[in-house]
Amino acid sequence: MPIEFSKYHGLGNDFILVFDRPIDVGAAVQICDRHTGVGGDGVIVLSPSPDADFKFLLYNNDGGIAEVSGNGLRCAGKFLYEKGYHRAQSVSLEAGGEVKVLELTVDGSEVTSVRVDMGVAEDLGEIDLHGYLWRKVLTGNPHVVTFVEDLDAVPITELGPLIENDPAFPDRTNVEFVKVEGDVVHARFWERGVGVTQACGSGACASLAASGLERATVRMLGGDLLIEKQEGGRIFMTGPAVHVFDGRTV
């Protein structure tokens, strides 16, 4: 059966969004294929939830299910408002067993920015792997962060999959390479089940948490996010999302 979808991206991290339509792993992988499908880092399925306004289910492009995605949450908020599924400027999404609350900035009928309460980051300590020291951080999904002097010199495509699939991480992990310059955190990402991405919202939050900063601009290949840690340790992420196009599979 054909599937109606919308494609969005958050700073180049792109998703195919589907409303209230079951998608299986095979269909998700096919849709995400950049040569024979729509192309994307993942498929987000949104449906009504008894525990929040909507349930957020994310398939990575390898078919694995991710607990959450910061960029994906912002895309979902924009999608729900602009498509008329939810017209309030606050929306709650159940993702990975937690409820995330989004605040939408709206200009006319367009959502120009989304602020997400990502919750409290959990610091799980350090681990030494493959010659680098990594800080383990949970921001709804697992991350490891390492600090480097030269991001351009780091062999991300070699180290990324080694760390992601290391036996130390039974459920695999997202991988962040970070350089801090004042209140700007420069970050590069290897995402679990995806590979190199232009941006990672939950990874940007993990990068801030690992850095010890309270507020920073996290600068990624795809653009910037404002990440803030407030009283109680809750981390808030603010940034844009972009509607690319709508379509229908055959």
Looking at the DSSP bridge assignments, the partners of residue 146 are 177
Of the pLDDT bands very low, low, confident and very high (cuts 50, 70, 90), residue 1 is: confident
Q: Domain segments of the chain: what residues?
A: 4-117+239-244, 120-237
> Which percentage of the chain shows pLDDT scores above 90?
98
> Does 4-117+239-244 match 120-237 in CATH topology?
yes
Interhelix angle 70-82/201-211, nearest 10 degrees: 140
Domain 120-237 architecture: Roll (3.10)
At 7, list the tokens.
């494609």
Residue 207's nearest CA partner among 151, 130, 153, 166 is 151
At 77, list the tokens.
């908020």
- Residues 51-97 pLDDT 10s: 999 999 999 999 999 999 999 999 999 999 999 999 999 999 999 99
Q: pTM score, two decimals?
A: 0.96
pLDDT reading at 192 higher than 90:
yes
> Which percentage of the chain shows pLDDT scores above 70?
100
pLDDT reading at 231 higher than 90:
no
SS3 call for 203: helix
At 110, list the tokens.
């367009």
Tokens 């602009």 -> residue: 82
pLDDT reading at 250 higher than 90:
no
At 54, list the tokens.
């909507």
Mean pLDDT of the chain: 97
Q: Tell me the DSSP string of 84-153.
A: TS--SSEEEEEETTEEEEEEEEEETTEEEEEEEEEEE-EEEEEEEETTEEEEEEESSSEEEEEE-S-GGG
According to DSSP, residue 232 is labeled G
- The superfamily (CATH) of domain 4-117+239-244 is Diaminopimelate Epimerase; Chain A, domain 1 (3.10.310.10)
